[in-house]
Structure 1
Amino acid sequence: MPDLRVLVIGATGVFGSRLAELAAREPRIALTLAARDRKKLETLAARLGGLPVRALDRKRLVAPDLAGFDVVIDAAGPFQASAPTVIEAAVAAGVHYVDLADGRAFVAAIGRHDADARAAGVSVTTGASSIPALSHAAIDTLTDGWRRIDRIRIGIFPGNRAPRGLAVVQAILSYVGHPARVWREARWTNVPGWGMTHRWTVPGVGTRWASVCDTPEQDLLVQRYRPQESAEFFAGMELSILHLGLALLAFPVRRGWIASLGPAARPLLAMAKWLLPFGSDVGAMDIVIDGRDAGDKPREARWTLRADGNRGPYVPTLAALAMLRRFRDGRPPAPGARACTGLLTLAEWDADFERLGITTHRV
């Protein structure tokens, strides 16, 4: 079979560069790196063995920019304020599309591209990342055979020394202090973004701060698993000064004194980078589920991921890597547009976890 021709947009970012690093090692994948900064692209391409590069702005991408590729992966961001420019260009060019989107509205709107994608004979897959792709694969495994699910709690906790980029900070600040719609006590309710702050003990890792995030998970967990009581997603910064400081900064947004913390993204990123020497390089993901098994007995299941040595930023890229393998091996998703739920099995992460030294534990 011929090589799979892949364009990675946002290749110089925190996640895009790691995806490029892993995909470049895969047989029969011909990778091209794309981003706005050609100098950074050329530096990354040289490090990965001399890959071809394209200087592209995803906001101005058009179909001819994708000519000659089989798959385009959008690893840029933030998706919270993104227009579907790359999706539309991919469909028009007849190129399969995958992204790492974590923007709630962006992912929720994916269905509007379904008819055009079907007509073009291509697949459009959003959210090929830690959520919902990995989280749902883990939940599917944990609850196999269960009669029902009552409560789902998911937490992601990066180590403080993990690299962070501007797009990630902008994504977080887009919802801090704004109402976040969550499924709690068997009904939809609004809570403040980065509110519900509490301590979360992760097995084998320790206790971290956790606050509610406004992500696609809140909608997708309810749609897919129909939890009777709650479905909640949290994230936490390891250092109290950063986590609680952000909760304090949310107050003017909550009161309506300012519209958003978005303009503070660069200074807050600079502060976070100044504090990089502190804390640890251990990241974690924790999923806790309550429900009833096939015999209607109460059950609790838990799946925990631990990533040492700043390997945490690789985790959001592994679903997209698994999707590339499927395309390469002639097992693409059916034409149409969808979120990356139920497309991958948890076993498809195993070899990459082992290779990267990432451990998981199931109870």
Structure 2
Amino acid sequence: MVELRVLLIGATGVFGSRLAERAAREDGIALTLAARDRAKLDALAARLGGLPVRTLDRANIAAADLAGFDVVVDAAGPFQASAPTVIEAAIASRVSYIDLADGRDFVAGIAAHDAAARAAGISITCGASSIPALSHAVLDDLTAGWSRIDRIAMGIFPGNRAPRGLAVVQAILSYVGHPVRVWRGGRWTAVPGWGMTQRWAVPGVGKRWASVCDTPEQDLLVARYRPADSAEFFAGMELSILHLGLALLALPVRWGLPRSLRPAARPLLAIARLLLPFGSDVGAMDICVGGQDAGGKATTARWTLRADGNRGPYVPTLAALAMLRRFRDGQAPEPGARACAGMLSLAEFAADFAALGITTGHDGGK
């Protein structure tokens, strides 16, 4: 078997290290780890059996850095306000590209690379993560045969003890307090980032705090499913002091002082880490949808994921892993640039959920 040569950027991060761990176990995938910190790279490589490493900064990567690889995976982030440097290097080197992007503008702009990707004969796959890859696989399964979709609401709720990285905190703080464009009441409207704060009852988990987030999901849900009424995405922190504290910090941003909380990412992350012993290690993802079945009858459906033992951070990596398997098995996407929405089936996640002890369930629908 000819092995698929994969370069994983951001390999030492919260998500990158978990993707590396899973991909390193796959037959037919030759993985090289890349990040900025050589000491962390060497430690991870040793833990995974002596994988090759490259010291790279995604902000300064060039086509020559990708020479000899079949696929490059960008798991570094943050993607908010990020330049498409890795994408441009991938096109120039004719190496296919996958990322875990959650930046709304970054994902929305992926089509701008379509013509160049086609000319280079490679695929650019953006957002191979919990959203939109897994979320759309779930919705496709729940609403198969429906005649109409009216409402979509989804939330992601990590346990407080789950590891958190600087890139994730920077991503959240980039939109806190700023206007977020959401589809409500059948039209686009603006609400404050980390606003609409509420208690969300997650089946089998309990109540968690939830606030609206700025993600590519809002745009992609409306584009793919055309809900008549609403498409909303929320996230929440388990501890009230963290979740509501961030909601309070959003108020000065809404008033214009300061312009952004992102410069405070490091001290806020330090505070969050001090509180790691509290709360639980249970993470969840909850997707609710309402509409009409094939016969025009009103119907609803719900799918819930529960990840115990701090296994939640594996979930955002599983779509990228599924995409690597497709490349390895000769089922690579057609050349072009696209968001990873509707590209994977829910069945492609099942074996990994089982291996990780992650449980899922759904009610109603179909």
C-alpha distance in structure 1 between counterparts of 2:130 and 2:28, whole Å: 25
Q: Where does 1:143-182 land on structure 2 (aligned, <5 Å)?
A: 143-182=143-182
Equivalent residue, structure 2, for 1:24: 24
Read off the aligned partner of 1:8 and give its amino acid letter: L
Equivalent residue, structure 1, for 2:40: 40
C-alpha distance in structure 2 between counterparts of 1:313 and 1:233, whole Å: 18
Secondary structure, aligned partner of 2:109: helix
Equivalent residue, structure 1, for 2:218: 218
Equivalent residue, structure 2, for 1:335: 335
Read off the aligned partner of 1:331 and give its amino acid letter: Q
Secondary structure, aligned partner of 2:233: strand
Equivalent residue, structure 2, for 1:362: 362
C-alpha distance in structure 1 between counterparts of 2:206 and 2:151, whole Å: 22
Equivalent residue, structure 2, for 1:63: 63
Equivalent residue, structure 1, for 2:258: 258
Equivalent residue, structure 2, for 1:291: 291
How far has the Cα of 1:39 moved from its partner?
0.6
Establish whether residue 310 from structure 1 lines up as the match of residue 298 from structure 2.
no
How far has the Cα of 1:71 moved from its partner?
0.2
Establish whether residue 188 from structure 1 lines up as the match of residue 194 from structure 2.
no
C-alpha distance in structure 2 between counterparts of 1:237 and 1:175, whole Å: 16
C-alpha distance in structure 2 between counterparts of 1:284 and 1:59, whole Å: 32
C-alpha distance in structure 1 between counterparts of 2:235 and 2:275, whole Å: 19
Q: Where does 1:268-287 land on structure 2 (aligned, <5 Å)?
A: 268-287=268-287
Read off the aligned partner of 2:226 and give its amino acid letter: R
Read off the aligned partner of 1:210 and give its amino acid letter: A
Read off the aligned partner of 1:175 and give its amino acid letter: Y
Read off the aligned partner of 1:247 and give its amino acid letter: A
C-alpha distance in structure 1 between counterparts of 2:204 and 2:283, whole Å: 11
C-alpha distance in structure 1 between counterparts of 2:90 and 2:241, whole Å: 42
How far has the Cα of 1:263 moved from its partner?
1.0
Equivalent residue, structure 2, for 1:88: 88
Q: Normalised by the size of structure 1, how large is the TM-score?
A: 1.00
CA deviation map 1:284-327 (0-9, x unaligned): 00000000000000000000000000000000000000000000
Equivalent residue, structure 2, for 1:249: 249
C-alpha distance in structure 2 between counterparts of 1:156 and 1:293, whole Å: 26
How far has the Cα of 1:344 moved from its partner?
0.4
C-alpha distance in structure 2 between counterparts of 1:272 and 1:96, whole Å: 37
How far has the Cα of 1:81 moved from its partner?
1.7
Secondary structure, aligned partner of 1:81: coil
CA deviation map 1:305-355 (0-9, x unaligned): 000000000000000000000000000000000000111000000000000
CA deviation map 1:221-263 (0-9, x unaligned): 0000000000000000000000000000000000112100011
Q: Where does 1:204-243 land on structure 2 (aligned, <5 Å)?
A: 204-243=204-243
Equivalent residue, structure 2, for 1:348: 348
Secondary structure, aligned partner of 2:32: strand
C-alpha distance in structure 2 between counterparts of 1:129 and 1:64, whole Å: 27
C-alpha distance in structure 2 between counterparts of 1:201 and 1:291, whole Å: 21
Secondary structure, aligned partner of 1:195: coil
Over the matched positions of the two proteins, sequence identity in percent amounts to 79
Read off the aligned partner of 1:117 and give its amino acid letter: A
Matched pairs, number: 363
Cα RMSD, aligned residues only = 0.3
Q: Where does 1:48-59 land on structure 2 (aligned, <5 Å)?
A: 48-59=48-59
CA deviation map 1:9-65 (0-9, x unaligned): 000000000000000000010000000001100000000000000000100000010
C-alpha distance in structure 2 between counterparts of 1:43 and 1:50, whole Å: 9
Secondary structure, aligned partner of 2:80: helix
Read off the aligned partner of 1:34 and give its amino acid letter: A
Read off the aligned partner of 1:16 and give its amino acid letter: G
Equivalent residue, structure 2, for 1:321: 321
